């Protein structure tokens, strides 16, 4: 399992369209991808849109990613890249 | 893979407590409003100030609401003014988060003065102590409950709260939709908020996604619009967990039904069935049947045990006949 802390940097936060991008990306990997808000006990499955929306992650929210599976390092790099790119908004 | 759930006990400011309880408890503030933001309530249990006023203040717990009722007020009132001041000064006021005066009583002026001076909120309710204690404890128990939001689907079947777990894409939401069309209730899809209240787990939906379900190919659905009010529910005690697993990951499966497995959340153990998923297995019928098994077990029935007993009897009979 790999873990990493990331911050939501795009202006609109993890809004519906961004969440959909994340879900689509996550679904392409075999690994299980869990996202947790660092400030609460809210866990989401990155492959489920409603679950990701529940995070209500605005700009600046810190999230902990935990990825477990055969393609975990590739998945981590891809997800991190998506967050760093600001979901194509920047 | 599972995250460690931290058993963080939430704290709330007295101000937030007053805001949240405005509908249910009807509290008013008498003094010390400067301390509303900084003073925090961290326990749902209350204390009666009682003996602490008589000088025995060892057991005052920080973070608990201190109740002042008729006996405390009568005690203070019968003291001479100097003694009354002394009794109040002897309390460690920084350790008290707030004082709740019950029965709409008027506390002694000295109490209000010292509270105002030290920014200690004094609030008042019209209810008598016993009722106020019940109400406040129940209310705080709910808002201070340890909580976690996890990935899963919560439904109500035959009055039982059933939490369905399993990897994304395994068919939880499709199963939920099937169960809804058979007349069962959706509490929450994809994301379930679990609170530990007393010795049990209460599940509900995060406000945002309440009454919604996502189905691949159809998108996000509003279940109340599509199926009506009886197809949705707000919260449910979680009594049974069903975990869907891929057939190849299922490992050893109990074929008889005598093994009871349990799933633990916040130290509460809930009965769990592990259901392997494969083509041709109708998940909703399996879930419905699992709940029927759960219910019959509750009332003492156990098919596996009965059959095995009968079988053993048969074997001993054969043995005796020889």
Residues of B in contact with A45 (CB under 8 A): 151, 168, 190
Element containing residue A78 per DSSP (H, E)? helix A72-84
- Model confidence at B1, pLDDT cuts 50, 70, 90, reads very low
Q: Which of B191, B212, B213 to mutate to test the interface with A (most CBs of A within 10 A)?
A: B191
- pLDDT value for A22: 95
CATH domain A2-88 topology: 3.30.1340
The reply to whether residue B151 touches residue A45, judged by beta carbons under 8 angstroms, is: yes
Residue A32, pLDDT above cutoff 60? yes
Residues with Cβ within 8 Å of B113's Cβ and at least 6 positions away in sequence, in order, are: B31
Q: Name the residue with higher pLDDT: B272 or B26.
A: B272
Element containing residue B282 per DSSP (H, E)? none
Question: If you classify domain B147-305 with CATH, what class do you get?
Answer: alpha beta
Q: CB-CB: which of A40, A50, A68 is closest to B189?
A: A50
Residue B260, pLDDT above cutoff 80? no
Residue B95, pLDDT above cutoff 50? yes
First to last CA, chain B: 55
Q: Give the residue-averaged pLDDT of B202-207.
A: 94
The reply to whether residue A43 touches residue B148, judged by beta carbons under 8 angstroms, is: yes
ipTM exceeds 0.85 = no
Asked if B178 contacts B283 with a C-beta cutoff of 8 angstroms, the reply is yes
Residue A15 annotated to the active site:
yes
Q: Give the residue-averaged pLDDT of B148-154.
A: 93
Interchain contact B222–A (C-beta under 8 A): no
Sign of CA pseudo-dihedral B157, B163, B166, B171 = positive
- pLDDT value for B9: 63
Residue B178 Cα distances to A79, B34, B171, B219, B225, angstroms = 33, 55, 11, 16, 16
- Model confidence at B257, pLDDT cuts 50, 70, 90, reads confident
Q: Give the residue-averaged pLDDT of B229-234.
A: 96
Q: Give the residue-averaged pLDDT of B155-163.
A: 97
Query: Alpha-carbon dihedral of residues B105, B109, B112, B113, nearest 10 degrees?
Result: 180
Asked if B277 contacts B246 with a C-beta cutoff of 8 angstroms, the reply is yes
CATH 3.40.1390.20 maps onto chain B at 12-143
**Taking the domains of chain A in order of start, what are their residue ranges?**
2-88
Residue B239, pLDDT above cutoff 80? yes
Closest C-alpha among B65, B67, B87 to residue B75: B87
Interchain contact A16–B (C-beta under 8 A): no
The encoded tokens of residue B24 equal 């249910």
Instruction: Give the span between the Cα atoms of B148 and B34, in whole angstroms.
Output: 33
How far does the CA of residue A88 sit from the closest CA of chain B (Å)?
23
Closest C-alpha among B270, B272, B293 to residue B201: B270
- Model confidence at B244, pLDDT cuts 50, 70, 90, reads very high
Instruction: Give the span between the Cα atoms of B238 and B203, in whole angstroms.
Output: 6
Asked if B28 contacts B105 with a C-beta cutoff of 8 angstroms, the reply is no
**B12-143 CATH, one of 3.50.50.60, 1.10.357.10, 3.40.710.10, 3.40.1390.20:** 3.40.1390.20
Interchain contact A32–B (C-beta under 8 A): yes
DSSP-based three-state secondary structure for B98: strand
Per-residue pLDDT tens over the stretch B285-307 = 999 999 999 999 999 988 888 88
B 136-195: CB under 8 A from A = 146-151, 167-169, 189-191
Q: Name the residue with higher pLDDT: B257 or A33.
A: A33
Residue B321, pLDDT above cutoff 90? no
Asked if B76 contacts B47 with a C-beta cutoff of 8 angstroms, the reply is no
Per-residue pLDDT tens over the stretch A1-21 = 999 999 999 889 999 999 999
Which residue do the tokens 């759960």 mark?
B294
Residue percentage of chain B with pLDDT more than 90: 52
């Amino acid at each position: 399992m790999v873990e990493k802390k990331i911050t939501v940097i795009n202006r609109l936060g993890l809004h519906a369209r961004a969440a959909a991008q994340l879900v689509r990306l996550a679904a392409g990997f075999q690994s299980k991808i869990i996202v947790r808000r660092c400030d609460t006990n809210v866990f989401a499955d990155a492959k489920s849109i409603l679950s990701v929306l529940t995070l209500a992650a605005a700009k600046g929210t810190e999230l902990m990613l935990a990825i477990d599976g055969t393609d975990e390092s590739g998945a981590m790099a891809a997800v991190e890249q998506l967050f760093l790119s600001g979901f194509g908004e920047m | 893979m599972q995250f460690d759930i931290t058993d963080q006990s939430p704290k709330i400011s007295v101000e937030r407590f007053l805001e949240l309880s405005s509908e249910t408890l009807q509290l008013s503030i008498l003094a010390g409003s400067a301390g509303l933001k900084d003073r925090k309530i961290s326990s749902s249990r209350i204390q009666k100030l009682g003996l602490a006023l008589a000088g025995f203040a060892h057991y005052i717990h920080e973070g608990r609401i201190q109740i002042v009722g008729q006996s405390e007020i009568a005690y203070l009132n019968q003291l001479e003014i100097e003694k009354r001041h002394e009794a109040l000064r002897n309390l460690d006021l920084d350790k008290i988060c707030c004082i709740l005066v019950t029965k709409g009583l008027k506390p002694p002026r000295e109490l209000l003065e010292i509270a105002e001076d030290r920014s200690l909120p004094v609030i008042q309710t019209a209810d008598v102590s016993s009722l106020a204690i019940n109400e406040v404890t129940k209310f705080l128990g709910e808002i201070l409950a340890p909580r976690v939001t996890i990935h899963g689907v919560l439904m109500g079947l035959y009055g039982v709260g059933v939490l369905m777990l399993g990897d994304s894409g395994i068919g939880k939401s499709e199963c939920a939709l099937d169960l809804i069309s058979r007349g069962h209730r959706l509490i929450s899809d994809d994301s379930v908020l679990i609170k530990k209240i007393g010795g049990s787990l209460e599940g509900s939906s995060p406000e945002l996604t309440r009454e919604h379900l996502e189905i691949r190919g159809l998108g996000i659905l509003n279940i109340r619009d599509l199926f009506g009010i009886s197809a949705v529910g707000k919260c449910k005690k979680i009594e049974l967990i069903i975990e869907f697993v891929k057939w190849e990951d299922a490992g050893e499966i109990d074929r008889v039904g005598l093994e009871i497995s349990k799933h633990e959340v916040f130290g509460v153990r809930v009965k769990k069935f592990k259901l392997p998923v494969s083509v041709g297995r109708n998940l909703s019928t399996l879930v419905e049947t699992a709940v029927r098994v759960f219910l019959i077990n509750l009332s003492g029935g156990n098919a596996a045990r009965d059959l095995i007993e009968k079988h053993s009897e048969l074997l001993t009979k054969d043995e005796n006949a020889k």
